[in-house]
Amino acid sequence: MSKYLLLVMAVFGGVFFAAGADLRENQLVNPSSKTNSGPRLRLLMHLGNGPTKFGSVKGLHGLIYMARDWRTPSLAQTNRVDILSSEDKTRIVVMVADNGPIYSSTNSGMTWTVINTPGKYEFPLTVDLNGGGFIAAATLYPSPENQTQTATNSPATNWYAVGSAPDGSKLVITEDPSQPAPVLSITHSGGGVVVSWPAAFTGFVLQENKDLSSMNWVDVTDPVKKVGEDNQVLVSSPADNNFYRLKSQ
């Protein structure tokens, strides 16, 4: 029988960061509690078949900007999202509040699977040799939106999501089937911000835009440096908020 502990109602009304070795007792919640069964993204610990190295996961809270055609300035919707990812950002789960859809990726956001059918779902985030690890779990409930799928209410396939973590870092996630790109990480550094993405993904140029309702994306001219397993760009702090994305060359 699978053994689970419901760790926390992740990023519900806030943000959450967890490392397997740093969990406090008050973060463990009774899995049978009715308060944990709502349409939200939750974090489970799968105990496995022996001593388990759970690894690390990251939880973020933010907004998703959705449009039927990402090439047009019109943004159809803006919704709150909960995000859980493995620390290396290979596995990512994005749930749109308050009842889906759910977008999941196992390749750093290059491709996405969308779920909008009512049911209970689990997504492995970390897995060790004994089969244990962290799992993202969610329940989608029947609603007028997911009971009848039409061209006007089907889940958007072009979207841009920004999630924030307690340490101030941000995760930028996009889906554009015509131009897939890996997830971006943004952290503060001195007088600017560091924008990074996995170095395993090549052939991309970093772009910025001050307003998502426009198509004024321009290339960032700051140099790209490889640091460890990441490509990094140090951008001087802009006077206004900036949005970033990767575009294939």
CA 195 from chain center: how many Å? 16
Distance between CA 142 and CA 145 in Å, rounded?
A: 8
Predicted TM-score (pTM) of the model is 0.78
Mean per-residue pLDDT for 208-236? 88
Please give the structure tokens belonging to residue 164: 């924030």
First to last CA, the chain: 48
- Does residue 43 carry a pLDDT above 70? yes
Query: What residue type is assigned to position 175 of the chain?
Result: E
Nearby residues of 150 by Cβ (< 8 Å), 6 or more positions away: none
Three-class secondary structure of residue 144 per DSSP: helix
- Does residue 150 carry a pLDDT above 60? no
Q: Per-domain residue ranges for the chain?
A: 4-61+83-147, 181-248
Strand order in the sheet with 243-248: 218-219, 204-209, 243-248
Q: Which residue has the tokens 């159809």?
A: 76
Please give the structure tokens belonging to residue 192: 């600017």
- Does residue 188 carry a pLDDT above 70? yes
- Burial of 124-144, coded b for 16+ CB within 10 Å and e otherwise, reads bbbbbeeebbbbbbbbbeeee
pLDDT of residue 39: 61
